[in-house]
Amino acid sequence: MKKARVAWITDTTSSLSREFIDRHNIYVVPLNVLINQESYKERIDITDKEFYERMAAEEGVFQSSQPSVGDFVDLYKKLKSEYDFGIAIHASSKLTGTYQTSLLAAELAEFKIFAIDSLTGSFPLSFLIKKGIELLESGVNEEELVRTLEDYREYTTLYLVPSNLKQLHKSGRVSGTQKMLADLFKIKPILSIENGEAKIKEKVRTEKRALSWLLTQLEEDKKKFIINKAAIVHANNEEQALKLQKLIAETLPELDTELLMLIPVAGVHTGAGTIGLSWVSEKTDT
């Protein structure tokens, strides 16, 4: 039986490395960031670092937007002549309309896709893609692959600690009064991506306590699940990212870690200097 030709499709919220994208021939559709109404395609027109440097240095309006239907239609028409079907894994549909746009475009282009709403982004999304490729190469069929990855969504963790509430206030996520009180009392909210939505999980008084809280959550999950890697995500704040990496190395020396720049479409809301921690838990045999 002839092996199916399968295309892998995602978007720039997956934070995949260029090396991995090229090695597995993954098609990545960029989201857009807007700086004072001027639009840039993520990782094509502007790098993550450039975006955060501008956010830190410039006054203005920083926004984000999803890819157009046309971007996806053009891609799917091209893939239709080269592949039997596609597997598309996108950022949470509750945070961006990219997933719905991908579905609509596939229908318009008449290209069959198996689509997965990751209900997350950043490191957990990259994990789902890598796990999916691994499953497909092991012989798992498309339907089982989708079911397995949808189950994994429940075990993904992503916490973010904004350096301040400036961008959350600008994007309407917190009120002026909340921002004023947080600034006055040096309160740092810790955001969690849960069931596809961003929620305030905890509030702490200092950055040191925030890092300690993140480490505690990782330790607690490590007692219950198999965790092979944790990703320290940051919005051009390598100094704090390295501090957190050092804390993890001292507490959980057996755990592999990596530093990952936070996707700008998330940084639009959380701001330059954001620090975060992410991992995926796998069930133990016991």
The DSSP string of the chain is: -PPP-EEEEEEGGG---HHHHHHTTEEEEPPEEEETTEEEEBTTTB-HHHHHHHHHH--S-EEEEPPPHHHHHHHHHHHHTT-SEEEEEES-TTT-SHHHHHHHHHHHHT--EEEEE-S--HHHHHHHHHHHHHHHHTT--HHHHHHHHHHHGGGEEEEEE-S-SHHHHHTTSS-HHHHHHHHHHT-EEEEEEETTEEEEEEEESSHHHHHHHHHHHHHHHHHHSB--EEEEEESS-HHHHHHHHHHHHHH-TTSEEEEEEPPHHHHHHH-TT-EEEEEE-B----
Instruction: Return the pLDDT at 284.
Output: 61
Instruction: Return the pLDDT at 181.
Output: 40
Specify the range with the lowest mean pLDDT, choosing from 78-92, 127-141, 153-167.
153-167
Report the mean per-residue pLDDT for the chain. Answer: 91
Q: Is 90 exceeded by the pLDDT of residue 191?
A: yes
